Amino acid sequence: MDKDGLTCRTCLTLNPVGAPACVRCNNPLPVPDAPLVQPATGAAGAAPPWQALPSPPPPSVAPQPPPQGWPPQSGPVPAPPPGGRSRRRVLLVGNLVVLLILVAGGLALWVTRPHYLDTGAVATTIGGQLDATVHCPAKERRRAGTTFSCSVIYPGDRHGTVRVTVRNDNGDYRWSASGATR
Give the mean model confidence (pLDDT) for residues 30-48.
Answer: 56
Domain ranges, ordered by start, for the chain = 1-57, 116-177
What gap in Å lies between CA 163 and CA 175, rounded to an integer? 5
Q: What order of strands is seen across the sheet that includes strand 158-166?
A: 133-135, 147-154, 158-166, 173-177
Q: Provide the whole-model pTM.
A: 0.40
Give the mean model confidence (pLDDT) for residues 70-86.
Answer: 65
6-36 tens-digit pLDDT: 888 888 888 888 888 888 888 888 776 655 5
- Within a 10 A sphere around the Cβ of 2, how many other Cβ atoms? 10
Cβ proximity of 13 and 7 under 8 Å: yes
121-137 tens-digit pLDDT: 999 999 999 989 999 99
- Within a 10 A sphere around the Cβ of 138, how many other Cβ atoms? 8
Cβ proximity of 173 and 161 under 8 Å: no
